């Protein structure tokens, strides 16, 4: 059975990177579909059509169908990844201002998805992640709505530990909880090394001890 993944906000920096990562990862196979969803304006559709050609040039051997649809109301994926919205990098917005700017878009996308694909799995990438999850959970089955904030911050936490220990991040498991961004809380009790190296274990113990002396705020 084929799988269809829709990316809302596929023309933005995060969405474009995500499309490439999905195709490179091999998560989709032959005859699966990657749907790039536009913003309902000609410029967005034109950019996505150009991105589609580049992706086909690079990944056509995988035989994944890459489709461009011009409007959010055209979404019909089994998995819907939401990357649309203003970001902290596009202009100097704090998270509260960014939430105020993005909530109308979150509402519009959630309404369209509730009408078109209520049984899809939704992954919210757009910031503020927690606000996006709340909006989608209010309009859709909350058990089918996921935010990626804690996962991304957990990867960053693991990367920081790996850098200090001079090893690969793949050798570290670590988790954080809390609001995505500055309010995240690193959970040192979850940190594990996949390498049975006593020297590294001692170094990790020293990092954990040092972390207890540094305030979180």
Q: Which residues are catalytic?
A: 180
Q: CA dist 56 to 20, 23, 106, 186, 198, Å?
A: 11, 10, 30, 40, 47
Expressed in angstroms, the distance from the first to the final Cα of the chain is 49
Cβ proximity of 84 and 11 under 8 Å: no
* Distance, CA of 109 to CA of 122 (rounded, Å): 11
Q: What are phi and psi of 190, to 5 degrees?
A: -90, -10
| Alpha carbons 139 and 122: distance in angstroms, whole number | 12
Beta strands per DSSP E along the chain: 4-8, 33-37, 65-69, 79-82, 121-124, 145-147, 172-177, 185-193
The count of C-alpha atoms lying within 13 angstroms of the C-alpha of 171, restricted to the half-sphere facing its C-beta, is: 15
The runs of H, that is alpha helices, within 89-148 are: 95-116, 129-139
- Give the torsion through C-alpha atoms of 113, 119, 123, 128, to 10 deg: 50
């Amino acid at each position: 059975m084929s799988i269809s993944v829709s990316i809302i906000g596929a023309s933005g920096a995060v969405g474009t990177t995500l499309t490439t990562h999905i195709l490179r990862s091999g998560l989709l196979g032959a005859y699966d579909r990657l749907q790039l969803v536009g913003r309902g304006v000609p410029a967005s559709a034109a950019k996505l059509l150009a991105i589609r050609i580049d992706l086909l040039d690079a990944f056509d051997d995988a035989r994944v169908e890459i489709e461009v649809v011009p409007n959010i109301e055209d979404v019909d994926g089994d998995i819907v990844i939401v990357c649309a919205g203003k970001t902290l990098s596009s202009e100097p917005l704090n998270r509260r201002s960014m939430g105020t700017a993005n909530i109308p878009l979150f509402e519009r996308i959630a309404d369209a998805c509730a009408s078109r694909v209520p049984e899809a799995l939704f992954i919210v990438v757009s910031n503020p992640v927690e606000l996006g999850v709340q909006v989608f959970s209010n309009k859709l089955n909350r058990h089918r709505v996921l935010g990626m904030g804690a996962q991304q911050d957990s990867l960053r936490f693991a990367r920081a530990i790996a850098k200090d220990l001079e090893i690969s991040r793949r050798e570290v498991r670590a988790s954080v909880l809390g609001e995505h961004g500055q309010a995240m809380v690193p959970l040192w009790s979850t940190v594990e090394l996949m390498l049975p190296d006593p020297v590294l274990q001692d170094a990790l113990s020293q990092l954990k001890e040092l972390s207890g002396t540094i305030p979180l705020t």
